Structure 1
């Protein structure tokens, strides 16, 4: 039997360009994760890879480093394509790849997704050199293929990220059409948290002699050791709202993500929590992209403490320092349970994932190996306080600025404007997030009216902007 080569213990053990190593160092990525150790040697060698890896395992850097290593920086046109299931994940992956490739000269990375006008993306493609790396949802990318605003004849690498969710959301037909129009001579990298038969069929149909690797499958071991799983059994389903309120008011609840199975339930729970003094926001698939961005940003910058979401909307959710997850509605499948629970306790941080269930729901979940570590206990929630007339006033509020990356606006530009024109102290400017066509800035609630007045008619980088309160 041929002995296996020693596992790389540092990124310098891989044949990576110095510019990529510099990007890794700035991100404080010192040692490769398990999935990176498994995937990178084969991917850098040009082989097709089918990898089973959970959320938070480092798979984006694994395929990102492999793809960026093949980009010809002086060549104009798409050379790598990453297909993802949701708009949120498209933005998250784009930003992660930009950070990895920060020191590669002339590197251009773009994200294309539904939820805003197609003409904005087409105009960007027309007025500048085409990106070498495209991250996109299947529907929007197919639109670009149909309009010929993107020509894929220089493609070298195709990445199918979260393949199980791509199929679950019904993108089979779009992906088949897209792949049929791509060059046959290419490398394909596929990653999925689970490997059901549909994903295996996708592998067999589109990958050439793939290396199949498992860096953590759909078992309990894929959940981090720093995660505490608690199951709360209530006597009846109508006790769940009171139980939820009780859990969110515990001293260690911090920032929380609450999962519900339907859009209507998300809206219902958001209203319920707001009426009892909880700064809650909703997130579901019926919301337009700017509304989604606002909801997630409020959780990240402290304008909200709770985000109530459906599974689809929360896929790819990028919120660090998330302390608590509550599964208000019982998940239908074991992988859904894992995806939800795995949103907290990321990168070694501690977190708690709660399950609110009735006795029949508990009986079902206890049969799942992934739920074996759950600590079960009966919960009789205390009485609810009466509903109040208004939602709470958080100490931090969010302002919308009508300019973004397409206007060459940076975080530094916004800090300068809010200090120099808005009248804030530098330390009072909170979290800033810059999107393609707009930005968000967090400011203290007590100073918001003065800031809005000062920023009326203001310019940022010689562009007149409109600053409004996000409600």
Structure 2
């Protein structure tokens, strides 16, 4: 990643433990609560430069821990006593905005009065504006379009900004946010720290580095791949890559059904290149008895939340998504990834495959390809470890089987964070009113104005009946099964 304008920097001294960094006691306490003792390679390489106040251009793969690498450094600089925006993190998609926001909140949970918010399209801007009027966040994580709307309407003035982060810069450019980013940067104080992170470093990202960063420290922890390419070493060692070669594209639906029907398939994430293909495959899988959900850019945010929630809590076993919608998606225990449509670029292949086998877990990433598609992918270093084999998928049954009943059912509750409802409040209500044992209450997700609770399928109807018009924290709520 060397250029004449951004020379490679000598590596910073590697810290063996987070305790070796000069972090605030509050941040150190958060790391202890999280059980984090030693930094990942990207954290060890990046954090000293961020703490030192340098601009940083970092190349790091998905799942490497880069959010904490820059997050700890920027949180160190926040003054919670100041009622002003001090950090802006720009991300390419709503899901990534939520993921980064939640990760920063975890790191800052022991820092008193710290406020972190996420802003993105797909829901009314007035809700964000009202929240800012009540209490200005110290950190904003946002998509470029929505942040620019706030700047133009002067809902906040960034005159006390200390740090700007451009996260997943390659995808920001791929999605055409060049003009918005240029306008945003032009409205920010020139005296600031700028941090840029990208999975790849093609020329357009290097141009962004030259335009917006001042004498940056350049960090590359991608395993030694060439700039602009995704090296195979960036993928987790515990990730199995399997390529299934079918004779023609019309065999792919049967091949997909065969792959995700295997006993060890578990929860599956399926990538398609277009929204129409996502909808088509979701209908196909549902018709074949698979509890499948769709995720794409035309869906409103509540529908996206519902689809992700159902995959996370086990009431759906497959999610069919476009690349943009799945950017930043983080699902625990995601066992299988299937690339139904062949990726156009090597970094897209890497991003998709890296959704599983995260944080030391084991996972399998499948590719469904025709012979011409295989010939293209075999030239990519990132695909060097793919185990290729011909696949003649079994014929689909003439009649669709009856859809299996999932082990859990998701319930929608008409109250959330704005109504001062917490996960603990919901657990208490489902135990005392709904009649569940405490350990029978499944995954809980609390959103701004609504919440989701997973309950055992066998008890769902009884719990639903008992919870109708129940009070949670003194507030009467409505409860419904999520279909």
- Same-fold status (TM-score > 0.5): yes
Aligned residues: 469
Is 2:277 aligned against 1:265?
Answer: yes
Aligned to 2:114: 107
Is 2:149 aligned against 1:143?
Answer: yes
Q: Is the contact between residue 275 and residue 387 of structure 1 (CA under 8 Å) also seen in structure 2?
A: no
Give CA deviations for 1:126-151 in whole Å, capped at 9, x if unaligned: 22x21111111111111111221121
Q: How does 1:44-443 map to 2 (within 5 A)?
A: 44-127=51-134, 129-216=135-222, 218-388=230-400, 391-443=403-455
1:13 to 16, 20, 38: 20
- What is the SS of the residue equivalent to 1:346? coil
Tell me: CA distance 1:167–1:5, structure 2 relative to 1, closer, same or farther (3 Å): closer
312-321 or 444-453, which deviates more:
444-453
- 1:388 to partner: Cα distance: 2.7
Q: Is the contact between residue 274 and residue 390 of structure 1 (CA under 8 Å) also seen in structure 2?
A: no
Tell me: CA distance 1:387–1:308, structure 2 relative to 1, closer, same or farther (3 Å): farther
- 1:464 to partner: Cα distance: 2.3
Tell me: CA distance 1:4–1:200, structure 2 relative to 1, closer, same or farther (3 Å): closer
**For 2:451 and 2:158, how far apart are their aligned partners in 1?**
31
Q: Is the contact between residue 276 and residue 386 of structure 1 (CA under 8 Å) also seen in structure 2?
A: no
Is 2:31 aligned against 1:24?
Answer: yes
Q: Is the contact between residue 274 and residue 392 of structure 1 (CA under 8 Å) also seen in structure 2?
A: no
**For 1:329 and 1:401, how far apart are their aligned partners in 2?**
37
1:458 to 454, 464, 470: 470
Q: Is the contact between residue 230 and residue 375 of structure 1 (CA under 8 Å) also seen in structure 2?
A: yes
308-317 or 416-425, which deviates more:
416-425
State the Cα RMSD in Å: 1.4
**For 1:5 and 1:399, how far apart are their aligned partners in 2?**
49
Q: Is the contact between residue 11 and residue 45 of structure 2 (CA under 8 Å) also seen in structure 1?
A: no
TM-score (norm 1): 0.97
Give CA deviations for 1:32-57 in whole Å, capped at 9, x if unaligned: 11111111111100000000011100
Structure 2: runs of 5 or more not aligned:
1-8
Give CA deviations for 1:355-408 in whole Å, capped at 9, x if unaligned: 110111100100111111001010111111234386432121111112212222
